[in-house]
Amino acid sequence: MTSPTTVGVTGGIGSGKSTISHVFKIIGTPVFEADKVAKELLDKNDKVKSEIIRLFGEGTYSSDGTVNRKKLAGIIFNDEIALRKVNGIVHPEVRKKFQDWLKKQHAVYVIHEAAILFESGFHKMMDFTLLVTAPEKQRIEWVIKRDNVSENQIRERMARQWPDEKKQNLADIVLHNNNKNLIVPEIIKIDKNLRRNGKIW
């Protein structure tokens, strides 16, 4: 059987990429949530855990064996080298998980949702890429409500992701989640195109 077409879905924090992916899931499309898998690997994968502990010490894990996210975030937030090291440990394992997952799918196409699809190079594994954008004010308001964090904290997290302008140059399709455009009809159109001719447009 032919391997499913792969569509990478990404977007900056608070853009609504997870909501878009959920709509695809509702209409019957398998969705691989890379960020969720990465978190699970940090907690449960022995190889990942031992590498993190080797680099940053036992304190990066709690007594229950799960990663101390606050401590690890504090280490990598302002240290680009440490961040690259963590990504170098986690990203290859996420890729393996995705490849194993993909082999089990029998759909015409699948969604690979990842916050840093382009930054991590995951987009090179995709047949097509879809970028979700939203106005900055809308994104900040949404994340404050969702995560109960300050605007400054959100802006710091935004600064660590590529700007939309840079990602738009790499994306095959851009969905503008701005409360003006109707997103669901666009998703339905993409779904029909992929099922009909194997292309996103």
Q: What is the pLDDT of residues 134-156, one digit of tens each?
A: 999 999 999 999 999 999 999 98
Which residues make up the CATH 3.40.50.300 domain(s) of the chain?
A: 1-30+109-201, 36-104
- What does the pLDDT look like over 67-104, one tens digit per residue? 999 999 999 987 999 999 999 999 999 999 999 999 99
When pLDDT is averaged across residues 18-39 and rounded to a whole number, the result is 97
* Domain spanning 1-30+109-201: CATH 3.40.50.300: yes
- What does the pLDDT look like over 105-132, one tens digit per residue? 999 999 999 999 999 999 999 999 999 9
User: Can you give the chain as a three-state secondary structure string?
Assistant: CCCCEEEEEEECCCCCHHHHHHHHHHCCCCEEEHHHHHHHHHHHCHHHHHHHHHHHCHHHECCCCCECHHHHHHHHCCCHHHHHHHHHHHHHHHHHHHHHHHHCCCCCEEEEECCCCCCCCHHHHCCEEEEEECCHHHHHHHHHHHHCCCHHHHHHHHHCCCCHHHHHCCCCEEEECCCCCCHHHHHHHHHHHHHHHCCCC
pTM of the model: 0.94
pLDDT > 70: percent of the chain: 100
**Would you state the pLDDT for residue 158?**
92
Rounded distance, CA 113 to CA 152, Å?
A: 26
Rounded distance, CA 71 to CA 66, Å?
A: 12
**Would you state the pLDDT for residue 181?**
84
When pLDDT is averaged across residues 2-28 and rounded to a whole number, the result is 96
Q: Which residues contact 145 (CB under 8 A, 6 or more apart)?
A: none
On whether the CB atoms of residues 6 and 107 are closer than 8 A, the answer is no
Greatest pairwise CA separation for the chain in angstroms: 52
- What is the CATH topology of the domain spanning 36-104? Rossmann fold (3.40.50)
